[in-house]
Structure 1
């Protein structure tokens, strides 16, 4: 603050108080001249002012800004800023000063890395809404706060909301700074879409600078702009290394001229990383120069040491690489080298500005430790690698539990998935089946289980809370869908405001009902002993996982774990590149009728090859015969129907003839899901629109007959033609034991399933509730969707699990109407006869094969439907009921004869 301004304010105080203060005017002036306004002296001055009016608020404001600018004491800035706000609130003064005061306190909290408190005050500034520029800046600073917290997608939403306002009401310098901050967030997300978004705003920033000759831009701001452009141009999605190098050199030259050591260090680090990406040994020169200029020993060293470690890892200098990567991790969390990383607490993790870098470094450390084992055969390195994986899991779980946007959670799951795969490989080297299973389980369907658990917790809250939550979620999903189509600013604004309202609502729930919070996750993981104890003697669990890191000599490897009642087998699949190629070809062959001899011969060869590679030993092949196999597959094996594998070298014999096959997301999810409380009052509800109001959709003539056959077998309700509406589906299926849908479906973009008039989209299943033991999706591609690494595929099948289903039958390609109806008839006949779900579906396929010939036996016609989830019978014989009846009859006979 300028001295003249402070003198003026203090003069106002003097005259306003009419000498009531304990300080004379001369004493106050002397305090200012010496600029030694200690907290005690400021408090004394404020205490001496008895009238708490707007002038008092202005004085508190000036002391707040004085501490911010002169002493950098942000705690005192906050203290006096809050006094200003308190007085303005008490006087009910809602004006520009009020908005600005709230914004300032938010900014001071941000300086102290108190991100949630910063968000709170920025949000209040937006609500105050009397200073348009500060409101715009508040949106952007909330975006910056979420960026610091690692909630990257939420951050982008805030920037995109604030920037149009800032472009209209803000200063050009401020606009440019926020463009740069948004681009940093896009760089962290590291997708093709985020890269394009970041470049869009940075190009706008570059144009702003070029078209504003009066804009006096410091070289530091130019450096930030050029660094942002270089980062995005040289990433894996653009790979424009020449453009990246051009901008990095501009930054380096600007910084060398001004002898700015921090900016020089950063420029050298970025140049080093660029050369490392193109495998140029010059990277070492630049990275070492970065260290020599980083005099603060903390600004950029986490990235520099991480890149040096990667370089030495590639050169197989593993001990040096390990030392360097450990330094990188320590710098990420600002901890001393002698501190145990396992002592990291929630605050250490959430307050780190280098979360993404920390996870990359932890992954690199795991790789190095495994490579050290490969070199030395010292198993201590493997145990350290496992410890590192467990630490990373702890960090990611914390980041997920404090993230508010679903896409950010998926981002963190992707990061941990790669590290889990490394851990699984490490457990394999340790010959530890228990550890392999533990890590395989952690790498599956975690967010699905978390979301379902949240829904269950909601049902235990008061009805009005649960209803409001559901309404808000429905509105958000609806607007997200509409925004995807129309992309109008009005729709985007409505969606943004709704998401803010929903987050405030959830925050209030967490405060009132702490048990609702996912910060206290009570989901249990099942371990090897539990999995074995749950298996019957004819049951087998079969896990696969693909590791794409460079710790294996073959660059990537696939591992398997077979679990039977009394044994477990770990195995490694060789020639993984040929396996992946075979999988791709296999999927193409099975998704169409094989009418040509050449195609059929090729199918026999490819499917037999996959059978031998994915069941690599005679012991495994013998063990699976005549068994019930539940497959927990890796993302590389998604939508791969094992039952159509050819098991004969000379003829064509399908694996489905030898065993019952089903699929599951994970054993932990299955255990959690089957224990959900499901109450039903109807055995089955069938929906078959047959014809559609949308004339572009072809009629499904066989589905009306399919619906009639099913309801003749199992007593229930059937909705066909114009009665098969979305509204009836939502109203009539919530308490059905079986839900059957025979209709059209689509897997593109937002997957949906078609009813007579309109469709039900995947996101709508997240707010719909069912109690079904089984959902059957007799429609095309209902098991297809967007792949999320570490979670699985976001498809209609997963959506029905989210809404309550215990098991789902879904399809992996475009099905044939006639053959599907045939299989469904057999399937339900088997269910009625009290067969398990797995037996019922596999027997239906076997019956189809037995009664068809030639090209109609090819997998396209019968193998598309897969069972996911619980395999137990839908209908069981109630032995206790019959035993009870027999006992009652027996007693009646006994008493009858006794009377005789």
Structure 2
């Protein structure tokens, strides 16, 4: 009893010191001494396991407070081992995991930090009380912020804020206000990096109202306006801080230096930062202190200042010193060396930006000095930067973050491609041209590429089916919450739905993090094949293809041709001129409505001259062309352009389109089996009328030729599509669709309004698994139009099907005419059934329409050019398509029969 009294008194006294109303060094020291005594008493076997764990945990916390992370980790680990040895509940280890994660964060060991924070989050789910929930989510938010995933960081900071305000255990209003201040500031910083400046400024204003640290918020507002390129406003906020305290504040100095750079005052930057930055160098080695983020910023700013002054050698050295500051694992003082991407670094976006600056500066210095080694350094540094982006993208767990990153790095790729082509023109070395082409294609459609890679890898990574089902359920919940949020008009309900969306995203994030525990999954993601030029060349040779690749840089459009004769560079075009011509061509075809051809033919000839003519000599002898478009060119069907002989390109060439050269060598062969699936909900026969969607009387004939499941009228429901689509080998949708180029609008496909829920949105298509589907024929309006994103391409319904795993699609760029679409689709399947590839079948179907005298009123490109094939040239096995009438009737009789069924109709009467 005496021994029990001894440890119990020590424990109660230690806890009292730990929770002292006004904690100081003395109370902390007393608590640490007493907790250490309790831990030493465990040898007597008198101290209960839970008390012993609490002693380890609180002692580790005190070491953390004293900024002694190594001692804290050592102590907390002993507590965790003790708990496991004595079979204590994992929920009791929540705080130990949390503080372990924070310790490793302080030591810049990201992987370990993420591991323990994820363990803490798992323990939280079984924990009775939810104390420190806000702290956990804030820590996770910081992790995502530092790795550049600002989208997910916002979700975690928002969740932390909600948890903090709901935590009833926090009766100390001052502590709560400090925590809230931190969360508001953190979330605002994330929104600033997402360029959502209004949201960020609003959160900073809320933080100011707490009157905790006015100077910090003023500096962050100044940094916000630096990002907005508004130096005068930035300077105003910076001047609101206490000048005396600011003199030695590196953050303050760096923001001021940024303002000087925006106002073209590089000398002031050098005067301000040169001495301060070099003072923090390691004595004797003349190298910066590793993991010194602020000093890294200072060196980067100094590099920019020297760059503005065209003193490239000094700029190059400054950027290299910034790299040494940002990445503690990189210790090479030789400027010709670069860090190796392969682990999580804090400030990864700053590391990437610095690498780009170093690469560009090395290239400029190479031009100035004619040193070949500097050219090699420039290219190597660009590649290091892009390798880092690839690694970052594989760490990200949502498409939104990946698209944002793609946009952020697009200009870097533009600089790199321009540098490679410039070097090629000097050296005529094909390796320089290959490098430019590879970077151009590597920059495109990264989010789509990664999603498809991950889907394939999941199939063989050993991930349990229950986890994959959980993923589908969470995606469904997220989609439903998003849909409800878009349709909601109640502010109160909107808050609930926004929270539901956020929580679903975070749950998915946790699930994806658990996938990385399966070694095969993460290692194969990281090892996923990049562009391998020799493989692409082999693919082109074996299929006798011509590839036409475009890349928009600052002012020019670069055009590459890849044929069995090798890679060539066509003469570049002016971006502004081509953009104007393409817009004229688009308006000409759409405004013609199938009537006047004079203006259209003039625009089509001009477009050919500016976009294709320079490359035509290299590719004109090839039947099969694959187009790799960029930016505004994704909206244009090339086969309506007129060649020098005045012929439409479709007359002599079968055209395919791909989102990027990364998909060029993709194996488009699908497993045998499955059945065809057709939907025509608006045939006009047993269809349910709808005021917004008119009948499509020819749509039923499109799916009549398919041997599998065919749903028409009221039976063509969204439910039936979702039920059968993932097992279908071919899907044909003859219906209405909606798409818009306005950001924030979600395109959809229309099924029978016999069901209340009859719109299938692109977001829902993302959740499907169509990896076994050989072809999707989207016979509906504008399925290949939508929001154009420079780095990703067209965010459209056709992309949504590609995202779901289908490699080959026929899609429409503008409104589809019911009668001509039915004609083309039937002709398409007839040629596919004869063994022709999808692009050749589509070419022949279009030419059949153009040459059919009975369809003379539909020969205008308005009626046939809108349909494009997206995918690889494939010689499909016709086993999954059966045309019942082909086996019964000879071709001439079939044609006569089909023509007798056609109604003369008014052109354009039934549009989709």
TM-score normalised by the chain length of structure 2: 0.80
- Equivalent position of 1:333 in the other structure: 327
Q: What count of residue pairs does the alignment treat as equivalent?
A: 817
Deviations 1:689-737 (A, max 9, x none): 34675834221323xx24325524x534421110111122233344444
- The correspondence of residues 333-732 of structure 1 with structure 2, limited to 5 A, is 333-334=327-328, 335-336=330-331, 338=333, 344=339, 349-350=343-344, 352-428=345-421, 429-430=423-424, 431-432=429-430, 433-460=433-460, 461=462, 463-486=465-488, 488-511=494-517, 513-517=518-522, 520-525=525-530, 527-535=532-540, 539-548=545-554, 556-593=555-592, 601-617=598-614, 620-621=616-617, 623-625=619-621, 627-648=623-644, 653-675=647-669, 677-683=670-676, 685-690=678-683, 695-702=690-697, 705-708=698-701, 710-712=703-705, 714-732=706-724
Q: How far 1:857 sits from its partner (Å)?
A: 4.6
Q: In structure 2, how many angstroms separate the alpha carbons of the residues matched to 1:831 and 1:546?
A: 35
Q: In structure 1, how many angstroms separate the alpha carbons of the residues matched to 2:608 and 2:29?
A: 86
Q: In structure 1, how many angstroms separate the alpha carbons of the residues matched to 2:307 and 2:246?
A: 33
Q: Confirm or deny: 8 A CA contact 1:777 1:810 kept in the other structure.
A: yes
Instruction: Say which is worse superposed, 749-758 or 837-846, in terms of deviation.
Output: 837-846
Q: Over aligned residue pairs, what C-alpha RMSD do you find?
A: 3.8
- Equivalent position of 1:741 in the other structure: 733
Unaligned runs of at least 5 residues, structure 1 = 1-7, 18-29, 210-216, 549-555, 879-900
Gap change, CA 1:374 and 1:92, over 3 Å in 2: closer
Gap change, CA 1:130 and 1:342, over 3 Å in 2: farther
Q: How far 1:633 sits from its partner (Å)?
A: 1.4
Q: Confirm or deny: 8 A CA contact 1:819 1:862 kept in the other structure.
A: yes
- Structure 1 residue matching 2:239: 3-state secondary structure: helix
Gap change, CA 1:259 and 1:534, over 3 Å in 2: closer
Q: Confirm or deny: 8 A CA contact 1:100 1:131 kept in the other structure.
A: no
TM-score normalised by the chain length of structure 1: 0.81
- Equivalent position of 1:825 in the other structure: 826
Q: How far 1:463 sits from its partner (Å)?
A: 4.2
Q: Confirm or deny: 8 A CA contact 1:99 1:130 kept in the other structure.
A: no
Is 1:111–2:101 an aligned residue pair? no
Q: Confirm or deny: 8 A CA contact 2:39 2:55 kept in the other structure.
A: no
Which of 198, 201, 205 is the equivalent residue of 2:200? 198
Q: In structure 2, how many angstroms separate the alpha carbons of the residues matched to 1:127 and 1:816?
A: 55
Is 1:235–2:227 an aligned residue pair? yes
Is 1:763–2:763 an aligned residue pair? yes
Q: Confirm or deny: 8 A CA contact 1:118 1:145 kept in the other structure.
A: no
Q: In structure 1, how many angstroms separate the alpha carbons of the residues matched to 2:721 and 2:543?
A: 40
Q: How far 1:426 sits from its partner (Å)?
A: 3.1
Q: In structure 2, how many angstroms separate the alpha carbons of the residues matched to 1:459 and 1:474?
A: 20
- The correspondence of residues 265-276 of structure 1 with structure 2, limited to 5 A, is 265-276=250-261
Q: How far 1:574 sits from its partner (Å)?
A: 3.0
Is 1:141–2:139 an aligned residue pair? yes
Deviations 1:351-402 (A, max 9, x none): x332112212222222223333444554433322221122112212221222
Q: How far 1:102 sits from its partner (Å)?
A: 5.8
- Equivalent position of 1:883 in the other structure: none
Q: In structure 1, how many angstroms separate the alpha carbons of the residues matched to 2:373 and 2:704?
A: 62
Is 1:296–2:280 an aligned residue pair? yes
Q: In structure 2, how many angstroms separate the alpha carbons of the residues matched to 1:229 and 1:855?
A: 62
- Equivalent position of 2:265 in the other structure: 282
- The correspondence of residues 55-74 of structure 1 with structure 2, limited to 5 A, is 56=52, 59-70=55-66, 72-74=67-69
Q: Confirm or deny: 8 A CA contact 1:422 1:547 kept in the other structure.
A: yes
Q: In structure 1, how many angstroms separate the alpha carbons of the residues matched to 2:11 and 2:156?
A: 44
Which of 316, 326, 334 is the equivalent residue of 1:322? 316
- Equivalent position of 1:884 in the other structure: none
Q: Confirm or deny: 8 A CA contact 1:437 1:528 kept in the other structure.
A: no
Deviations 1:200-256 (A, max 9, x none): 2111112332xxxxxxx3xxx3222112212223423xx5433221111223xx1x4
- Equivalent position of 1:895 in the other structure: none
- Structure 2 residue matching 1:718: 3-state secondary structure: strand
Q: In structure 2, how many angstroms separate the alpha carbons of the residues matched to 1:816 and 1:411?
A: 36
Deviations 1:72-92 (A, max 9, x none): 322222444456677789697
Q: How far 1:752 sits from its partner (Å)?
A: 1.5
Q: In structure 1, how many angstroms separate the alpha carbons of the residues matched to 2:97 and 2:385?
A: 37
Q: In structure 2, how many angstroms separate the alpha carbons of the residues matched to 1:528 and 1:94?
A: 51
- Equivalent position of 1:187 in the other structure: 192
Gap change, CA 1:765 and 1:246, over 3 Å in 2: same
Q: Confirm or deny: 8 A CA contact 2:816 2:863 kept in the other structure.
A: yes
- Equivalent position of 1:773 in the other structure: 774
Instruction: Say which is worse superposed, 802-811 or 787-796, in terms of deviation.
Output: 787-796
Q: In structure 1, how many angstroms separate the alpha carbons of the residues matched to 2:188 and 2:72?
A: 30
